[in-house]
Amino acid sequence: MEANEILAKAESLRNGLSTGFRDEIVKSLYTEAEQIAKRAVKTSVDKKYDFDQKIDRLVTSPYTGLPIMLGLLSILIWLTVSGANVVSGWLAVVLFGIGDFGRALFNQIGAPWWITGFIWDGVYLSLAWVVSVMLPPMMIFFPAYTFLEDLGYLPRVAFNMDWMFKKTGAHGKQSLTMAMGFGCNAAGVIATRVIDSPRERLIAILTNNFVPCNGRFPTLIMLATVFVAASFPPALTSLVAAATVVGVVLIGVAFTFLASWILSRTVLKGEASAFTLELPPYRKPNVSRIIYTSIIDRTIFVLWRAMQTAAPAGAIIWILANVPIGDSNLARAIADWLNPFGYLLGLDGVIILAYIIAIPANEIVVPTMMMVYMGAGMMVNGPTSNHAIFDLLVNGNGWTMLTAINLMLFSLLHNPCATTIMTIYKETKSVKWATLSVVMTLGTAIVVTFLTASIARLLGWV
């Protein structure tokens, strides 16, 4: 029996059926379900349900819904920023202290300078940086985020943002995948499987990178704290820093909308499709489950991945910084060569070099950058306070407010990390879409930073 024969037979049988046969099947399915349920279920008056509905009326109202959402996001980020600053300081002192000890020990036993340097100033320093910069924000962000997720808040976010996505021609469930992107963009890309239409799913995949993942939050937090908040009284530091990060996140969301809008009018033309989304009841989150999920599965997983790329990156930078070229070194020379391009974007050559080395994982951009600066400045150890970082960047390497702001923008908008690109390729099974995801984001980052740098310079701000 041939497949085509069966298909032809099915076709002719289908044509022989009365036109409403599909509706008949669905109708009999629903009627059956209704009758069975009617016989099995008894409902009495319920109070809890009313209470849930009262909360939902506030949380999903057209007036209070968005402000509540913004408020929760701000609280989440404020908790992360203020907590992370404290813990990061302690961790830096301890970890860099271990570095000093190890270096002294190696010197004492007479190890050659290049072994001491490679291990302690290269590999170890990079690891210590990654851990002290990344671990604290994740330890606070992930549990708080998982709490909201278990409570049942995410579908309400989708409900509130549905109309905006619809206007851009994208799917309302994209807000769910966008929310997942805050944890990790690769996870956000996988989560797009909940979107039925291939067109809208592609939009969600391509724009997911515009929300900063936990690999990029530490960069944003550090820059916001060290630069933007530095000119405010200490009591306000974490508040201003948090407001800055919220602002950056909102810019990311704005770019998500803009890119979705452009995509759905050019390469991915089409109308937004309708869908149903259940608002599940609020459920009491399970504390031990939250701790397990957020610490073991999320924090440790992301940190471990970062450490795996940080160690070789540290080694590469140390080697680059210790290959002499005249009275300079290879890292400096490459950075100098990249400098004109960096300058155009309001950045500098070291930052561009750091981004190239950090392609496998965005998490290590700041450590990489710092190490190149330090290698050039012959500093022995990492700066442990915000003041020291400010001093190294501004007085040592000519940073301005424009550098900080444009680095935040670049970090927000630039290409996805290697893991995310691979995930996009696996999910779309297409080199074309994976490439577009890189070109689109990197292009946006370059254009936007170039514009802000040019405008700032024209107006004489820097």
The distance of closest approach from Cβ of residue 77 to other proteins in the complex, given in angstroms and rounded to an integer, is: 20
CA distance 7 to 22: 18
Per-residue x/- track, 165-204, other proteins (CB under 8 A): --------x--x---x------x--xx-xxxxx---x---
The distance of closest approach from Cβ of residue 240 to other proteins in the complex, given in angstroms and rounded to an integer, is: 32
The distance of closest approach from Cβ of residue 294 to other proteins in the complex, given in angstroms and rounded to an integer, is: 10
Residue 247 phi/psi, 5-degree rounding, is -60, -45
Q: What is the DSSP letter of 426?
A: H
CA distance 272 to 414: 27
Check residue 4 for interaction with other proteins (CB under 8 A).
Answer: yes
Check residue 49 for interaction with other proteins (CB under 8 A).
Answer: yes
Among 102, 152, 360, 396, binds other proteins (CB under 8 A): 152
Check residue 34 for interaction with other proteins (CB under 8 A).
Answer: yes
The distance of closest approach from Cβ of residue 44 to other proteins in the complex, given in angstroms and rounded to an integer, is: 4
The distance of closest approach from Cβ of residue 230 to other proteins in the complex, given in angstroms and rounded to an integer, is: 37
CA distance 208 to 216: 14
Stretch that binds other proteins, among 117-125, 149-157, 204-212, 442-450 (CB under 8 A): 149-157
Check residue 274 for interaction with other proteins (CB under 8 A).
Answer: no
Per-residue x/- track, 276-305, other proteins (CB under 8 A): xxx-xxxx-xx--x--xx--xxx--x----
Tell whether the torsion through CA atoms of 374, 378, 384 and 386 is positive or negative: negative
Neighbouring-strand partners of residue 325: 328
Measured CA to CA in angstroms, residue 401 lies from 168, 237, 365, 408, 441 at distances of 33, 16, 18, 11, 23
The size of the chain, in residues, is: 462
Tell whether the torsion through CA atoms of 149, 153, 155 and 161 is positive or negative: negative
Measured CA to CA in angstroms, residue 454 lies from 53, 301, 324, 343, 402 at distances of 51, 40, 35, 10, 10
Which of 15, 266 has the CB closer to other proteins? 15
| Contacts of residue 371, Cβ cutoff 8 Å, sequence gap at least 6 | 125, 126, 129, 314, 317, 318, 321
Check residue 54 for interaction with other proteins (CB under 8 A).
Answer: no
Which of 35, 435 has the CB closer to other proteins? 35
| Contacts of residue 172, Cβ cutoff 8 Å, sequence gap at least 6 | 158, 161, 162, 165, 166, 272, 275, 277
Q: What is the DSSP letter of 228?
A: G
Which of 42, 395 has the CB closer to other proteins? 42
The distance of closest approach from Cβ of residue 147 to other proteins in the complex, given in angstroms and rounded to an integer, is: 10
Check residue 327 for interaction with other proteins (CB under 8 A).
Answer: no
Which of 195, 268 has the CB closer to other proteins? 195
The distance of closest approach from Cβ of residue 280 to other proteins in the complex, given in angstroms and rounded to an integer, is: 5
Tell whether the torsion through CA atoms of 131, 137, 142 and 144 is positive or negative: positive
Check residue 163 for interaction with other proteins (CB under 8 A).
Answer: no
Check residue 53 for interaction with other proteins (CB under 8 A).
Answer: no
